[in-house]
Amino acid sequence: MTDPQPPQRPQNQQSPQNQQGPGGAPPQMSMLRMLVWFCAVMLFTYYWLDLSQGQQQELSYSQFKARVSADQVESVTMQGDRVVGQLRSAIEGSPSGDGQSPRNRFVTTLPPVDDPELIPLLEQHEVEVRARSAEGTWWARLLIGVLPWFLLIGLFWYASVKMQEKMMGGGGAGGLFGFAKSRAKRFSKGQSKITFDDVAGLENAKRDLEEISDYLRDPGHFRKLGAKIPRGILLMGPPGTGKTLLARAVAGEAEVPFFSISGSEFIEMFVGVGASRVRDLFENAKKEAPAIIFVDEIDSVGRARGTGLGGGHDEREQTLNQILNEMDGFEPHETVVVLAATNRPDVLDAALMRPGRFDRKVTLDLPDRRARLSILKIHSREVPLAQDVDLERIAALTVGFSGADLENLINEAALLAGRSGADQVDMDCVLKSRDKVVLGGVREMALTEDEKQLVAYHESGHALVASLLPHADPLDKVTIIPRGQALGMTEQIPEEERHNLRQSYLRDRIAVMLGGRASEQLIFGEVSSGAAEDLKQATHLARHMISQWGMSDKIGPVAFRRGEEHIFLGREMAQQRDFSEHTAEVIDDEVSHLLREIGEQVAKLLSDNRDRLEALAQALLQKETLQADEIRAILDTAKSAAL
């Protein structure tokens, strides 16, 4: 059950010290300004030095030796093939005062061949000679030494900013080394606009959670009474029943900060990152207490330990251990509630389920008829419905639908209406949308006449058996139009939700499954592969009846674990069998006997009503789809004709 207009996901918000740099600017902006100033200083220094060196006289080598011979050179500095010299200040035309004026300096380049006369010439005219390494000037060496580090720092800064932008967009912590920070999406106080009024159905679950929101809104009142808030609340239910929406509704009612994260977001390729993220998440929540932490799909990190896979120190188990430790570390004044959601509570670790961790378990069931009607009204608020749309009928036709399924049904109906160019969504669009969700989309397949006839008799067998047996669910539709993976479909809609299955109902249900195969055998004298899925479902149901529900006189009221689905290979390998090989053979014999017995009854039923089977199959070949009232009319007409 989801709100048709969920609030926009807020950007990740962190504490001011993490968001602001010096002067109130974000950290990446402060670093950017520092880099810009550094570049400006370097460029200014470079151009200033280059400009000052550009004022030196540039002499040819011949002019240089002539100046030395004329006693006009005071000192020279040799650096590789480059000579920088200083003229005497008493030279005619030179500026007065300090002899260090740029116009008194000169530069020349030595020839590639060594001149043996140069050094004696300089010594003869008492010219001071200095020598430097050929590595370049100080500013060049500085630039060469600093530039690689500058590029490296710039690369790290760029990668950090990009990673932060990516993580901020995904709701996680930023920074180059922010992978150890919590990825939880933070909704500040009052930002979650969802309340319990936006959650249709789930009255029992809302009643259990109302006191949590009351406690978070006014914890002092409950403390005066000596009440302690539950540390953890586990929301259990099938997918799409509204676990996440209910958690947001609690935060919206309490008006407290809400931290939302998926269990899989704790695990990373680096060892210890999951535990670090758990610590960071709980630390942030405690700083803003009262607050709510919501961990969706907690079974991804909270599965039972010691299954024989991954050892005792794998990353998932370390993350689980840290969650257990953090939930034990709550102080009485730290009003932080941990909400978790899962659709597999049977696989969670026992330490996670004990009192003191998740103190309260809230079960969310699939919505009943009244709840489905409320959900349909919520999701159709913004959809222009035609006058002929009957939401009560749609609620009756959607037994077993979750809130998410109902939302998808309304959306598919709106898409169908838009595809056809209609201005409103009529009842036909809604029914077609339901058929698409339940039966699958229509497939364009070129079936031969023999295949169509086989499918027609197969589906007629299902429909006739369902019409004749007293405990079978009522028929709604029969079609031989290929949908999804099936070439035809017989649909039954129960009149009411069933929470307890009687043996008579289960036997009639198996009979309907075997009706198609029995019809093929009666009409064509052989069976086809089209009954493969029917046989699979019938065998599965019969095995549950015999081995788990005690519906066999020979086996008796005993339940065996054979046939259970184990999600842990280690647990399955270590499981001890609690029955012998002889008992396994007896179970197999009883399952086979039950199916044969029901199959014989179905074959006799179809043989006694063959004329009605023929009439139903011919009508299917003509119309391809028959509704419940049409099926009743055909069967009544065939019965009257037989009399």
Residue 241 counted as an annotated binding residue: yes
Taking the C-alpha atoms of residue 93 and residue 380, their distance in angstroms, rounded to an integer, is 97
Q: Active-site residue among 412, 459, 520, 590?
A: 459
CATH architecture of 449-642: Up-down Bundle (1.20)
**Of the options 3.40.50.920, 3.40.50.300, 3.40.50.970, 3.90.550.10, the CATH number for the domain spanning 179-363:** 3.40.50.300
DSSP secondary structure code for residue 70 in this structure: T
**Of the options 1.10.260.40, 2.120.10.30, 1.10.8.60, 1.10.510.10, the CATH number for the domain spanning 375-439:** 1.10.8.60
Which phi and psi (to 5°) does residue 31 adopt?
-65, -35
- pTM to 2 decimal places: 0.65
Side-chain-side CA neighbours of 561 within 13 Å: the count stands at 10
Residue 459 catalytic? yes
Residue 238 counted as an annotated binding residue: yes
Burial class (CB in 10 A: 0-12, 13-18, 19+), 147: exposed
For helices 449-468 and 581-608, angle between their N-to-C axes, nearest 10 degrees: 100
Question: How sure is the predictor about 493, in pLDDT bands with cuts at 50, 70 and 90?
Answer: confident
87-92 own/partner pairs: CB under 8 Å, 24+ apart = none
Q: Per-residue pLDDT tens for 393-447?
A: 888 888 888 888 898 999 999 998 888 888 888 898 988 888 888 877 777 777 7
Residue 243 counted as an annotated binding residue: yes
Query: What pLDDT does residue 140 have?
Result: 63
Q: Per-residue pLDDT tens for 608-627?
A: 999 999 999 999 999 888 88
Taking the C-alpha atoms of residue 33 and residue 44, their distance in angstroms, rounded to an integer, is 16
CATH node for 55-134 = 3.30.720.210
Q: Can you give the residue ranges of every domain in the chain?
A: 55-134, 179-363, 375-439, 449-642
Residue 458 counted as an annotated binding residue: yes
Q: Per-residue pLDDT tens for 315-328?
A: 677 777 778 877 77
Q: Per-residue pLDDT tens for 260-303?
A: 887 777 766 555 567 777 777 888 888 877 788 888 888 777 77
* Rounded (5°) CA angle 337-340-345: 135
Is 305 or 50 the better-scoring residue by pLDDT? 305
Residue 287 counted as an annotated binding residue: no
